Amino acid sequence: MAVTSPRSDDPPADIALCDFAVNLRFEDLSPEVVAQAKLSILDTLGVAFVGARFGEGAETMLSYARLFQSRGVSTVWSTGERCEPALAALVNAVHTRGLDYDDIIPFPQIHVSVHVVPAVLAVAEYVPEPISGRDLIVAVTIGCEIQSRLARAIAPFFGAGLPTLLSSQIFGYFSAALACGRLLRLDGSKMRNALGLALMHAAGTEEMVVHAAQSMGKSLYAGFSNQGGLQSALMAACGVTAEGRPLTGSAGLFQAYYGGRYDRAGLADRLGSEFASLNRCFKTAPGTLVGHSFAEAASNLVREHGLRPDDISEVILHVGSWGQAMCEPLDIRQHPPSASAAMNSIPFVVAKTIANGRVRLEDFQTPGRLQPEALQVAARTSYRLSPDLSKPGSLEEGIVEIVTADQRRLRNVVRLPMGHPERPLSAEQGIAKFRRNVALSARGLSPERGEEFAGRVMTAEQELDIRALPALFAQGTNGVAA
């Protein structure tokens, strides 16, 4: 049952979301919403650039894409090569997820822009008519809002521990479908078909993302939702029908995956006037969000007390149920065998912070995972589970206790990490993050080109045809498909 029942004159939530995607106008958006949409685009591109260099599975995914050798129109951001839209969206999303450095809703922990921006930009290059910057902003806003509304709908029932379903991926099919549908100028009926087709794609569990020791799943899953959502929109544009109640029907999303429990008001009320997507964390470091407060607490202790790794005899992490999932099994989290296992490990990111002062982009690659100083600290790191630290409806705070070689006990608590909506990044900090990522990108984009790209994204509402933006990092390639 839904937490709130619709009023008799309310349309089904499925139809309400599709109507929102069809009818939202740029003029309906507040300056805050416009600014966040532009930051979503810039942050996603910057994270993808470094993910293509340092992220798990980045080269493997490019090799897969190159199997098809077909000429296309949509850009693979990291190389400037061109391929068909759904394949470009797949590759770019995998690169964006490669370092777990993209934006996320703090609770439930649902990733947002990575499920929208790659698909939207791929479609924008595919459609024959120019797509203005305002059109792009509206489409990105629609996708991010759908993703956030679906997250809000399950939040009252989410619990405190790690779930079985990978809701970020599942929701991403719907968000990408409606965002792409907007750029394809789908009417209400075709938009509903796109939503139904997205249900037929929708899948995702945590097994290959969190629990598997050797899996690229953490990088891959957003690629699937971008690919499937984009294909759903294109199929609907061609007249493929799947119109029904894909979210709220008797075998729809919420009944099939979530036991029929969802908050109808959170899902569909005040669409277009209230934007749930504003409640997002733009990350300042790679790795799972729940680890950021712990890494910051460890950094505070190291800086305040001038600690070196050899000064530390023990590190104790005080965690709730979600933090526990990122500390178990402890031997794997102390010595992660893969990048995904490392990104999901609080002991590892804390050890890296103590050894190096911060978590670096290369830390999840094999040489970084084998750094002796960090592994020595990780081996001395344990955790203590306190059920009262579990935070249903919120993010667990980071509590780090260090026992020094001379038996001092030092403790630091970080309630919320930097980048959280209560400690947000400014536009200037977001641009600075993009600059750093561009400087470290696989293609070595010039600072001048990076500055031009950032400036144009942050003034995207002035662009008459946003296809000029991918051209900034596609210049110099032969235009042959991946």
Determine the 3-state secondary structure of 411 from DSSP. strand
Looking at 1.10.1740.10, 1.10.4100.10, 1.10.3720.10, 1.10.10.10, the CATH number of the domain 13-278 comes to 1.10.4100.10
Residues 289-414, CATH architecture: 2-Layer Sandwich (3.30)
> For residue 4, with 0-12 CB atoms within 10 Å meaning exposed, 13-18 middle and 19 or more buried, which class applies?
middle
One-letter amino acid for residue 252 of the chain: G
Calculate the CA dihedral of residues 431, 435, 436, 438 and round it to 10 degrees: 130
Is there a cis peptide before residue 31, judged by omega within 30 degrees of 0? no
The rounded distance, in Å, linking the Cα atoms of 275 and 142 is 10
Topology match between the domains 13-278 and 289-414: no
> Which sequence spans correspond to the domains of the chain?
13-278, 289-414
Q: What is the DSSP letter of 460?
A: G
What is the per-residue DSSP string for 183-209? HTT--HHHHHHHHHHHHHH---BSIII
> For residue 428, with 0-12 CB atoms within 10 Å meaning exposed, 13-18 middle and 19 or more buried, which class applies?
exposed
The number of beta carbons lying within 10 Å of the beta carbon of residue 268 is 25
The rounded distance, in Å, linking the Cα atoms of 471 and 482 is 16
The rounded distance, in Å, linking the Cα atoms of 80 and 253 is 37
Tens of pLDDT, residue by residue, the chain (482 residues): 455 555 555 789 999 999 999 999 999 999 999 999 999 999 999 999 999 999 989 999 999 999 986 778 999 999 888 999 999 999 999 999 999 999 999 999 999 999 999 999 999 999 999 999 999 999 999 999 999 999 999 999 987 677 899 999 999 999 999 999 999 999 999 999 999 999 999 999 999 988 887 899 999 999 999 999 999 999 999 999 999 999 999 999 999 999 999 999 999 999 999 999 999 999 999 999 999 999 999 999 999 999 999 999 999 999 999 999 999 999 999 999 999 899 999 999 999 999 999 999 999 999 999 999 999 999 999 999 999 999 888 899 999 999 999 999 999 999 999 999 999 999 999 999 999 999 888 776 778 888 999 999 999 999 999 988 887 766 533 333 33
CA distances from 375 to 277, 357, 381 (A): 38, 15, 10
Determine the 3-state secondary structure of 25 from DSSP. coil
Residue that the structure tokens 């685009």 belong to: 41
Phi-psi region of 239 (alpha: psi -120 to 50; beta: other; left: phi over 0): left
The rounded distance, in Å, linking the Cα atoms of 161 and 326 is 11
Token pair of 474, please? 């596609």
